[in-house]
């Protein structure tokens, strides 16, 4: 039996990586927090849009039931 190295593997897939410097770690952390904040803002906007739409539906149902 002969074994051969997978020719599709790239060096970075099995090479050890160095730990980030404190500056790099801080930058990565800030970027991650910024992305999480963007997602939170988007979720809040959607929630407010849904709440607004639900209020409009309730008002329309109230008007419809009185007619």
Q: What is the pLDDT of residues 1-54, one digit of tens each?
A: 555 555 666 666 666 778 999 999 999 999 999 999 999 999 999 999 999 999
CB 27 within 8 A of CB 35: no
Going by the DSSP 8-state scheme, the letter that residue 15 receives in this structure is S
Q: Which pLDDT score, from 0 to 100, does residue 18 have?
A: 87
Whether the model clears a pTM of 0.85, i.e. scores above it, the answer is no
The residue assigned the tokens 């160095």 is 18
């Amino acid at each position: 039996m002969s074994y051969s190295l997978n020719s599709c593997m790239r060096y970075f897939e099995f090479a050890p990586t160095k730990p980030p410097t404190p500056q790099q770690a801080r930058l990565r952390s800030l970027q991650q927090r910024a992305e999480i904040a963007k997602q939170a803002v988007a979720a809040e906007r959607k929630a407010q849009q849904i709440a607004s739409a639900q209020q409009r539906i309730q008002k329309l149902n109230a008007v419809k039931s009185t007619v």
